[in-house]
Every structure is written in C-alpha cells, then in structure tokens.
C-alpha cells in the first residue's frame, strides 16, 4: 500500500521541477522556476528549511546529491546555462564550483556511482553532454564534453551502475569498472555512452520513441544478471530496454499513457519503476514472474491509491 507520509510547504514562488532526497533520507532538496534551490531537514517526519540557495538566474530544472563520502555536495542545473555544485559548510550551503561552458539551457545533472570517483554528468539543450571530474590532486574539476550528443538538445542523463553483471546473478569484481551512461534527447533517441581512454564514444543508439525523450533511468543491477534502462517520452510511452552486453538491446513498451510522460525513477534495488507525467499521477510498476510489467500502485494528486485491477 502506498500512503502519503508527509506534505511539505516549500515556499517556492513558482513551479517545482525536481525534488531529491539525500543518501541517508534525512534531507530534501527542491528546485523551481523561481530560480532557487531549497534544502530541508526532514528527520522524524518534520520539515525544517535549512537554506535557500540563490545563484541561478533562470528556472532550475534538476538537482542531484553526491555520495556522502565526498561530503555534502548538491548539484543544480538551470536555464541560465550554468551548473552549480554547492557544498555544505557549518550548516550553510556555499557555491563550491560553477560550470558555465554550455551554450544553452542545462537540463539534467547526475553524479556517477561513488566507485568511479566524484564525477558529474550534465546534459544540455545545446546538444552536448559535459562530464565534470574532480581531481583531488589539483583540487580542480576537469571537464570533457561529448559534442553533438543529440540533435536539437539533450534532456536527460543517467549513469550505469559501477558493478558489471556477468550472468547467473553474479557480478564482475575483477575488471575495473566501466564508466558508462545513458542519455535521452530531442532527436527521439536514447543513446549509450562509454568512456574509451580520454574520450567518450557512442556505444549504442536505441530507436523506438517517436517524440522527444524526456527522461532516462539506468536501473541498479543489485542481484540482476542484465542491464536495464527505462525511458519516457512525449509520445506518451515508457520503454524498458534490456541487454546482456550493453551492445544488443531489446525494447519492451511498458505502457502507453494518456499524456506526456516526464519522469521515470527506479527503486534502490531496481525492481520497481515509478512513472510520472502530464496526467498528474505517479504509477508504480514491477515485473511479474512471467516477465510482464504490471501497475501495482496508482497515486493521484498526492493520495495513495492501490490499483487492484
């Protein structure tokens, strides 16, 4: 049963575009078209505003928490073409690093798995993807850019897990982890990228969607023997992509919804997918023993409702 645990009045003065809970589930960050990022303490069911971050000069589209082993870091991206990494110091969040090397809106940010180091991927409407890597020896961020990743623009990026499945539920712990990510764009494509030496190469191009791809999410591979990606689009469809080698991908349309689908997100163990879209609903999906995806919960307008059909 899905039930409403808490409702938070954020105080944002315009539409909220993203809300992310940190690694320990103790803090919530939100971002909005009011150009701000807000951080709340949400321990014990209460919510207390910790800080209101001002640094962007346009709508803030997405935020991402780093793994806590790198400290309390929060990344934000905006229509103002900037990416800002914020760092908590003495319960205040200060601008730690600013990246302004995109020519258009930056739509998506996500930190890589902690095993790969402190790395941030950024997808922009200028069609490129930036990979920002922190170098502890120089205390600087090194930037690489995948030019022309998507025609017209890149809307979403998501990292693959650092542990490589090798089949039979086992994982490959001997080989060094491969840096790999998935992106979705305005060219209706989902693309897989892999680091090869000092550059990033396109590993696969996945074509099923018939309109802009709005979000992509690489599923955690805990206990799974294959790679799984979810993508959603303005074509109202969610597609589940699976592969054993990251080269050959199979597609399965999870569902065709009544309106544009904006976001997809996996549970921590990768067995439940949350979907949200223009119908103002959040639906939860899992795969039954026959491999068929089914809706297990239909949450409308903040109220937990179970779908028993």
Mean pLDDT of 115-125: 96
Q: Which has the minimum average pLDDT: 20-34, 38-52, 108-122, 166-180?
A: 166-180
pLDDT of the residue at 168: 46
- Say which residues have a Cβ less than 8 Å from residue 247's Cβ, sequence separation at least 6: 203, 204
CATH class of the 160-308 domain in this structure: mainly beta
Mean pLDDT score, 128-156:
95
pLDDT tens-digit series, residues 143-157: 999 999 999 999 999
Predicted TM-score (pTM) of the model is 0.91
What pLDDT shows up at residue 303?
54
For 20-32, what is the mean pLDDT?
93
Average pLDDT over residues 41-60: 91
Q: What is the pLDDT of residues 162-213, one digit of tens each?
A: 876 554 445 555 567 889 999 999 999 999 999 998 899 999 999 999 999 9
Instruction: Determine the average pLDDT of the residues in 215-219.
Output: 96
Q: What pLDDT does 305 receive?
A: 43
Q: Report the alpha-carbon distance of residue 83 to residue 233 in Å, rounded.
A: 24
In terms of Cα–Cα distance, which of 34, 125, 109, 105 is closest to 73? 109
Q: What SS3 class is residue 5?
A: coil
Question: In the predicted model, what is the mean pLDDT of the chain?
Answer: 89
The reported pLDDT for the residue numbered 306 is 41
Report DSSP state, residue 168: T
């Amino acid at each position: 049963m899905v039930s409403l645990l808490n409702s938070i009045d954020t105080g944002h003065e315009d539409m909220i575009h993203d809300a992310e809970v940190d690694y320990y589930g103790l803090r919530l960050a939100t971002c909005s078209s009011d150009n701000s990022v807000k951080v709340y303490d949400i321990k014990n069911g209460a919510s207390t505003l910790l800080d209101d971050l001002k640094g962007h000069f346009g709508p803030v589209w997405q935020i991402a928490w780093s793994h806590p082993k790198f400290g309390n870091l929060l990344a934000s991206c905006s229509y103002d073409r900037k990416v800002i990494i914020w760092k908590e110091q003495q319960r205040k969040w200060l601008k730690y690093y600013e990246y302004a090397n995109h020519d258009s809106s930056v739509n998506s940010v996500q930190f890589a798995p902690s095993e790969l180091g402190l790395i941030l991927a950024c997808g922009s409407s200028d069609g490129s993807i930036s990979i920002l890597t922190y170098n502890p020896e120089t205390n600087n961020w090194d930037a690489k850019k995948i030019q022309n990743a998507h025609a017209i623009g890149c809307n979403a990026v998501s990292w693959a897990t650092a542990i490589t499945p090798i089949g039979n539920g086992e994982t490959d712990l001997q080989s060094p982890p491969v840096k790999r990510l998935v992106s979705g764009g305005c060219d209706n494509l989902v693309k897989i990228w892999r680091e090869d030496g000092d550059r990033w190469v396109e590993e696969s191009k996945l074509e099923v969607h018939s309109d802009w791809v709005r979000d992509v999410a690489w599923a955690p591979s805990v206990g799974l023997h294959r790679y799984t990606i979810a993508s959603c689009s303005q074509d109202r469809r969610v597609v589940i992509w699976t592969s054993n080698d990251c080269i050959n991908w199979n597609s399965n349309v999870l569902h065709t919804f009544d309106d544009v689908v904006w976001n997809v997100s996996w549970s921590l163990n990768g067995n439940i997918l949350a979907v949200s879209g223009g119908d103002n609903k959040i639906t939860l999906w899992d795969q039954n023993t026959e491999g068929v995806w089914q809706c297990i919960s239909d949450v409308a307008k903040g109220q937990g409702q179970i779908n028993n059909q």
